[in-house]
Chains A and B, each alone.
Chain A
């Protein structure tokens, strides 16, 4: 009963318009006689966009079964470590790579990919590691990468150039060997009306500069390219 009283008062507080909150004293007095509140003050406004699972799906261009590799952190930002699968590709093959971002902490699992696509102009996915592409220019590499999408694929391109988003890539496994692949999703909302997503970001990252915006995803997968 004690808890009920308290929670119902709390719910009342949240629901009360700002000005009426000044009259809290009266509210508290009236709450004291109120014991039929619901058991929990959930107000379901905790929309969140936690990404706990990232899936990389490599579809061979010449046909064949799509290969999926994931990173999964089942307790989110809790203290338990997440686990990434090893990416295994075949030398000489070209793949269409598609990324999906999920919040598996909710039931059912929430797909965040569409939200990212809807804000394509404020997001950029950058691939680095042992691959050569716009954001990565190592001396030796196992893969080559090119973006296979543009902001305009996901909606009207309203701001600046029509840049890639990076949900889709074309990947060619060029050299057999083992290394790593790093996937970074940057959230780049405008700062005071100034776009933060610019064409130079991949090159800046390749040059070792730090980038604006915040890091939503930063994952490193072990990569093995085997001879056919």
Chain B
């Protein structure tokens, strides 16, 4: 459908508003009760926004403890209502006020899995705490998430305070860094399933599809007791909303296009809950995204084009007592690596850094073709989840998942060579069981809790002509318990987790002999086997958290204070133990040590937040000491090229994973101010991260620089056609990272940079359709810049200016009612129903 036709369609669906009445007539009131779909539970603390056609400004209110909200002094006429809550899908409806008392019932679709009444937690004041407990977190959902469609995971999250991107060398690839931790110290969960990929690789972006998520949440701190030892630095959760629980057809179609990199894509999702099979529902979704190479202000980053597509389906049954879901997701990704990354002599590397421009940049072109070097990935995820209500005991939730991560890396080789140079196959079976026990009343306290167990079997098959990481198999298991005690304005959380693992590693002959020769093999755990060697390492890790969520003031229920103390233990990853090879494109050799043991952190964090109707303010601070922090440091070598190691490509420094002691600390500030009577708002954040190597008494490498973001927004008045239209202008300032370890850096950190951004957007909503249109401009001053946490910074600049356009259409149709009921519902509103009282 053409855009013009679409707009006409949206326009015609709206009735013309009546002329604004006199102020004297404005004595009506509107009252609503907000409940959850499925459970019918009232939802307290939900934000309700009311906008009137032709009137600037928004009336905001929150539901009380019974899920009720009331707004008075309203004129007769149509009003638009938007209902927002972190845990539920946004609802919007149109209500016709007649000047008297109007009552509406609004039912919100939950974004979380269904919970029975005995385990359901009372959310005090409505302000979060539901899933992230006493940890600091930030979520992206609704239209804020819609404005990021088409971006990779790291870029989608990069505007969150305290979250930055470790950018790789390929087009748009990167991995999220949470408060300075990435990869091995962060965990990604896709609908509760731990993502398993080759995430140790510094240029391996996580193989997950952010477009399949309806909410993205980042836990900015240790999530170890709930999620696992790897979550020491933080957790990224991608959550899709549950399948529809009422007979309906929900669909979403979206498309996006960008100027730099030039390209675009589209996504579609259909969910059907048929009326004849109550409780059953199916979702089918897919998306594709293709772009050509990125262009910097002065040259193209040759060969950074990419092609990604995703497909997924979920079939589910849901009832009060039992849920079952079977799903499958597939990701295919092909991404070129910038031709600017090349193997050079150490002298040339330094010259290239000093020149600030790739030596062959004049020949670079922005093409769609993806040549060598490139990465090609298939990622499969098949899963089965269930929820069983166990009477007075509580509820049992279970997930079985199988993932297969198939990664191929193609180097620049002579033409006679075909096929990839590195192939990784990572297969993971995981079972996750958790019992959410029924609420216990302990004096004046209510106690909720989860008892959980995990089992995970993983095997890795690596093939290449050179050594890098060995094949391994591991079995790991975990037991955990997180309990929450709540009363009045206090919520306490205590969690403990034990995690065990046995890792069996098989070393090829050359790998084994090389590691024995360089004295890096753990002689107690490793022995010769066949022509190579085999190692077996058991690990045991215990983590604990103690947290509190307080509402410090009775008069200020919008204010919360979260604090957490934690001690977390992390099991070393495969590369930290056994890496033995060249880092791609960097003039270094990397080696692990199989004697490395558990890394343990001791830390605390605290977040004070005020979430009022026109002001949101949050300040967070954290610090953690990491004992035996596994760090990648240069290691002097013996031999002909001492202190370097002789290779055919010249003498190279050897970097080894070595335990040290580290101290991390920092803070974030976030604010969002909506001027009460003016159509203006301003939002912003500041993030600071510090990392210190306590043994060498110098800063840690790869700690993100200080970052400041601010965006001002002008809200256009509601019109007959459009709603929530805005124009915005903003900027990001990233300081120069002055705290760097001189010995480890390959190049001086890049200077401060400022990126100017602007955007505009509007929604064209009818009762069943929402059309969202947005345009975003990035780096509009076409600033040449490099980022300290981007691997590209040693070789080339980052992207120049770009404009992106996004259009999405959500369409909901309820099924299973007589045509009279459907017509009646259509009058009532899209996701809610309205009862008029005269």
Contact = CB atoms under 8 A, between A and B. Distances in A.
Given A41-B461, A42-B463, A77-B467, A218 B418 contact: no
B75 interface: no
Contacts of B402: 28
A30 interface: no
Contacts of A209: 351
Nearest to B423: A46
A21 B378 contact: yes
Contacts of B330: 21-22, 24
Nearest to B422: A46
A33 interface: no
Contact of A78 (B404, B418, B514, B650): B514
B359 A211 contact: yes
A80 B517 contact: yes
Given A81-B645, A84-B646, A25 B328 contact: yes
Interface stretch (A57-65, A92-100, A191-199): A191-199
B648 interface: yes
Contact of A77 (B359, B364, B589, B637): B589
Contacts of B360: 191, 196, 212-213
B412 A48 contact: no
A78 B510 contact: yes
A76 B515 CA distance: 12
A203 interface: no
Given A82-B647, A84-B640, A192 B427 contact: no
A14 B406 contact: yes
B627 interface: no
Contacts of B640: 81-84
Interface string A59-76: 000000000000101111
A18 B363 CA distance: 34
A95 to B, nearest CB: 23
- Among A115, A214, A216, A220, the one with the most B-chain Cβ atoms within 10 Å of its Cβ is A214
Interface string B348-373: 10011001000110011101000000
A97 B359 CA distance: 31
A41 B463 CA distance: 10
Contacts of A80: 514, 517-518, 645
Interface residues of A, number: 66
A15 interface: no
A6 B650 contact: no
A116 interface: yes
A75 B467 contact: yes
A192 B361 CA distance: 11
A28 B382 contact: yes
A214 B713 CA distance: 48
A84 B646 CA distance: 8
A132 interface: no
Contacts of A74: 510
A78 B417 contact: no
Contacts of B493: none
B413 interface: yes
A189 B412 contact: yes
Given A41-B425, A82-B648, A103 B520 contact: no
**4 nearest interchain CB pairs?**
A45-B419, A48-B465, A218-B650, A81-B639
21 contacts: A10-B425, A24-B330, A42-B463, A46-B464, A47-B417, A49-B417, A76-B466, A76-B581, A77-B467, A78-B581, A79-B518, A79-B591, A79-B654, A80-B645, A82-B645, A84-B646, A191-B302, A191-B364, A192-B367, A215-B348, A220-B651
Interface of B: 302, 311, 326, 328, 330, 332, 339, 342-345, 347-348, 351-352, 355, 359-360, 363-365, 367, 378, 380, 382, 402, 404, 406, 412-421, 423, 425, 427, 459, 461, 463-467, 473, 510-511, 513-515, 517-518, 520, 580-582, 589, 591, 637-641, 645-651, 654
